[in-house]
């Protein structure tokens, strides 16, 4: 189960529907791993930036 903060609902640990891992451009030209999906309640697009340990675990 992937959770993230929903800006519209203002709720922590809201479940993401259709969650998938993406690579974002980071500082210094490096890639940053993130999860993206939609809020299960309101349908707003959500992002959660993963740490180095989380990125290895999710892959």
Distance CA 54, CA 32 (A): 11
Q: What is the pTM assigned to this prediction?
A: 0.69
CA nearest to 48, candidates 2, 10, 1: 2
Q: What is the CATH number of the domain that holds 10?
A: 2.20.25
Domain extent, residue 14, equals 3-58
DSSP 2-50: -EEEETTTTEEEEEEEEEEEEEEE-GGG-EEEEEEEEETTT--EEEEE-
The model's pLDDT over 19-54, given as tens digits with 9 standing for 90+, comes to 999 998 888 888 889 999 999 999 999 999 988 765
Distance CA 23, CA 11 (A): 25
């Amino acid at each position: 189960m992937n959770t993230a903060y929903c800006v519209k609902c203002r709720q922590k640990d809201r479940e993401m529907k259709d969650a998938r891992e993406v690579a974002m451009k980071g500082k210094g030209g490096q890639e940053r791993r993130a999860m993206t999906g939609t809020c299960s309640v309101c349908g707003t697009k959500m992002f959660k930036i993963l740490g180095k340990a989380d990125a290895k675990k999710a892959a």
